[in-house]
Amino acid sequence: MQRPILEVSHLKKYFDVRGGIFGKKVGEVKAVDDVSFTVHEGEILGIVGESGCGKSTTGKTILRLIEPTEGEIKFEGQDITSLNYEAMRKLRRDMQIIFQDPYASLNPRHTVEKIISEPLLIHGMNKQERKSRVRELLEVVGLSSYHASRYPHQFSGGQRQRIGIARALANHPKLIICDEPVSALDVSVQSQILNLMESLRDQFNLTYVFIAHDLSVVKHISDRVGVMYLGRLVELTDKDKLYDDPKHPYTKALLSAVPLPDPDVEKERIILEGDVPSPSNPPTGCAFHTRCPMAMDICKDIRPSFEQVEVNHFVACHLYSDPAQ
């Protein structure tokens, strides 16, 4: 097992809800509510869940693009939760992000060369070195050096995302947060980008936190998978364990909706009743109990702890909790 590169402990991110003419605080949205996990060097950790479950907020909070409300974030053993601006700026050479929308994340007024070289300029690389590095990165992500003088509107969605990946790689990072990087792309292009990202991981010993809502995509690229619901992790284990033997009722429902390529194989579909509760007014006890087909009385009042039920398999569900605790 490689050493931990990222350790997230009891991470919370709450957003104030304000109202009235004086903007008084009237509530809060619990976007991320007590999330803990570890990512090892060279690993790809997938985080999956429905829209609004807190996946992207978790990723951006790890990078401190959004400041955490509570909790601890360690990168290579260093607590970065309270680092000042200058220290965090230096650290971001090692921590980067690939954004979801390749159309919105690239400045349309800048050439590809300027887009990719911007992080190099911020960290002090001279003009000639920047020019050389940009051309090298374009080749690495499957584009050509002559693309450097073009503008984003001259590229397809898949090519734009390759440019975004090149920008993320510019300063030789160790950890990359991938915020749904293929969700805006066609299926055929998705596989090309996923294969590229896997190849880059092996080539540069990268570590990814891969955020997605598509379980098929997560299965393709991840080593371990964490399932989020309403700001909380409900299950975390190795990819094969999760897909072969899911424990949490929410995970089972998500997997039941994934289509199988074999038309002769029938799969029971688990239909969840009701809507996802509001993160500004989450249910008491287990957040999933309002939709869970296996909910018990205890689920309404007591929040289940996130604990190990098998080797490297963590679940937050009273079905697997020790009644003696």
User: Which 3-state string (H, E, C) describes 157-182?
Assistant: HHHHHHHHHHHHHCCCCCEEEEECCC
Split at pLDDT 50, 70, 90, the class of 15 is very high
Q: Are residues 155 and 233 in the same domain?
A: no
DSSP letter at 287 equals T
Choice among 132-141, 193-202, 260-269 with the minimum mean pLDDT: 260-269
Which of the residue ranges 19-33, 221-235, 279-293 has the most confident prediction, judged by mean pLDDT?
221-235
Q: Taking 80 as the threshold, does the pLDDT of residue 19 lie above it? A: yes
Q: Are residues 78 and 222 in the same domain?
A: yes
**Nearest 5°: phi and psi at 86?**
-65, -45
Arithmetic mean of pLDDT, 116-125: 89
Q: Taking 80 as the threshold, does the pLDDT of residue 325 lie above it? A: no
Query: Does 191 fall in a domain?
Result: yes
Q: What is the pLDDT of residue 322?
A: 60
Question: Beta strands 44-48 and 207-212: pairing type?
Answer: parallel
Percent of the chain with pLDDT strictly greater than 90: 75
Residues 22-44: tens digit of each pLDDT: 888 888 999 999 999 999 999 99
Query: Does 299 fall in a domain?
Result: no
Q: Are residues 74 and 199 in the same domain?
A: yes
Q: Taking 50 as the threshold, does the pLDDT of residue 239 lie above it? A: yes
CB 212, CB 226: distance < 8 Å? no
Q: Are residues 69 and 194 in the same domain?
A: yes
Q: Are residues 64 and 131 in the same domain?
A: no
Q: Taking 60 as the threshold, does the pLDDT of residue 302 lie above it? A: yes
Query: Does 123 fall in a domain?
Result: yes
**Could you give the C-alpha distances from 98 to 124, 131, 302, in angstroms and in order?**
22, 21, 37
Q: Are residues 179 and 89 in the same domain?
A: yes
Of the candidates 69, 62, 88, 72, the residue with the CA atom closest to the CA atom of residue 29: 69
Residues 42-74: tens digit of each pLDDT: 999 999 998 889 999 999 999 999 999 999 999
Residues 62-108: tens digit of each pLDDT: 999 999 999 999 999 999 999 999 999 889 899 999 998 888 889 99
Compute the distance between CA of residue 159 and CA of residue 162 in angstroms, rounded to an integer: 5
Query: Does 61 fall in a domain?
Result: yes
Q: What is the pLDDT of residue 1?
A: 56
Of the candidates 67, 116, 126, 119, the residue with the CA atom closest to the CA atom of residue 93: 119
DSSP letter at 282 equals P
Torsion angle of the four alpha carbons 277, 278, 281, 287, in this order, in degrees rounded to the nearest 10: 40
Q: Taking 90 as the threshold, does the pLDDT of residue 264 lie above it? A: no
Last residue of a domain, one of 138, 153, 172: 172
Query: Does 81 fall in a domain?
Result: yes
Q: Are residues 42 and 73 in the same domain?
A: yes
Last residue of a domain, one of 256, 276, 296: 276
Q: Taking 50 as the threshold, does the pLDDT of residue 324 lie above it? A: no
Q: Are residues 161 and 208 in the same domain?
A: no
Q: Taking 80 as the threshold, does the pLDDT of residue 266 lie above it? A: no
Query: Does 54 fall in a domain?
Result: yes
Number of domains making up the chain: 2
Compute the distance between CA of residue 300 and CA of residue 319 in angstroms, rounded to an integer: 13
CATH number of the domain to which 36 belongs? 3.40.50.300
Query: Does 325 fall in a domain?
Result: no
Q: What is the pLDDT of residue 315?
A: 96
pTM confidence score: 0.92
Q: Are residues 86 and 70 in the same domain?
A: yes
| Domain around 245 | 4-94+173-276
